[in-house]
Amino acid sequence: MIHLAGWCWWAATLSLSPLALPMAVQARRNALRLAPAAGPDRGLAGADTPGEPLRLLLIGESTVAGVGVSCLDFALAGQLAGALASRLQRPVSWRACGENGITAAGARARLLPRVADESFDLVLLVFGVNDTTHFSSSRGWLSALNGLAGHFAVRGARVALAGVPPLEHFTALPWLLRLLLGWRARLLDRQLQSLAAREGWDCCATRLEMRREYLALDGYHPSTLGYRVWGEELAHWFATRLAVRVEQPVAHEGA
């Protein structure tokens, strides 16, 4: 069914391309380009709480790089770490490894080497927007996710995949692009969920109510409030459904 839906999307997109392509060119030309967040790419949330820090890694695209806010403390990594520390009453040592505009395949080649030798308890992969807009093939999309997640899973980390954001709510996109790219994003999200179920990884659906105030000035990336709400939702998901595993840190080598 997923393959059939994919063929239907391609057929619709090709038939509508005379309308969609000029819109895409115009949207790209008029897009407000925001810089990634400043500040250190790691930090410690809940430093005043007892216990060994939970080692958290976020690896992904522009939302991990913090595009839309001033510093990474206000982006997804910092917001998620703070919310998790509050819910678990335990310190959370976080690391953000992101790049604006990167696809999952690009991250496997360029970002993974930066953190490949580090140890983490919980790893969240945040991809999908760029693979949607770059028309990544299903095979390439799933292979890259499998390579990224598999690397951390064999090292003992709990691996979770963040759901593909709903592009149909991105106000920077014209109506037809929102329709087509939102459809494509849902297809990639279904493939991501199937991969996670098959491999035994966690998949955290992105079910935010997309309000205008949740988006930054570019109408494409989250605002500070958007990152906060997203981080709180993810923290609630982890704390309620993964409590037993999350609260027990992975044993350190040599312990």
Predicted confidence at residue 168, as pLDDT, reads: 87
- SS3 for the chain is CHHHHHHHHHHHHHHHHHHHHHHHHHHHHHCCCCCCCECCCEEEECCCCCCCCEEEEEEECHHHHCCCCCEHHHCHHHHHHHHHHHHHCCCEEEEEEECCCCCHHHHHHHCHHHHCCCCCCEEEEECCHHHHHCCCCHHHHHHHHHHHHHHHHCCCCEEEEECCCCHHHCCCCCHHHHHHHHHHHHHHHHHHHHHHHHHCCEEECCCCCCCHHHECCCCCCECHHHHHHHHHHHHHHHHHHCHHHHCCCCCCCCC
Predicted confidence at residue 29, as pLDDT, reads: 80
Residue 254 placed within a domain: no
Residue stretches of the chain with pLDDT short of 70: 1-4, 7, 9-10, 207-210, 242-255
Beta bridge partners of 158: 122
Predicted confidence at residue 240, as pLDDT, reads: 82
d(CA 96, CA 75): 10
Residue 152 placed within a domain: yes
Residue 251 placed within a domain: no
Predicted confidence at residue 243, as pLDDT, reads: 58
Residue 226 placed within a domain: yes
Predicted confidence at residue 207, as pLDDT, reads: 66
**Closest to 188 measured CA to CA, from 129, 106, 233:** 129
Q: Which domain holds residue 103?
A: 2-246
Q: Which CATH number goes with the domain that contains 156?
A: 3.40.50.1110
**Closest to 214 measured CA to CA, from 206, 205, 204, 224:** 224
Residue 255 placed within a domain: no
Predicted confidence at residue 251, as pLDDT, reads: 42
Instruction: Tell me if 128 sits within 8 A of 60, measured CB to CB.
Output: no
Residue 253 placed within a domain: no
Predicted confidence at residue 253, as pLDDT, reads: 41
In tens, the pLDDT along 159-184 reads 999 999 888 888 888 888 889 999 99
Residue 195 placed within a domain: yes
Residue 167 placed within a domain: yes
Total domain count, the chain: 1
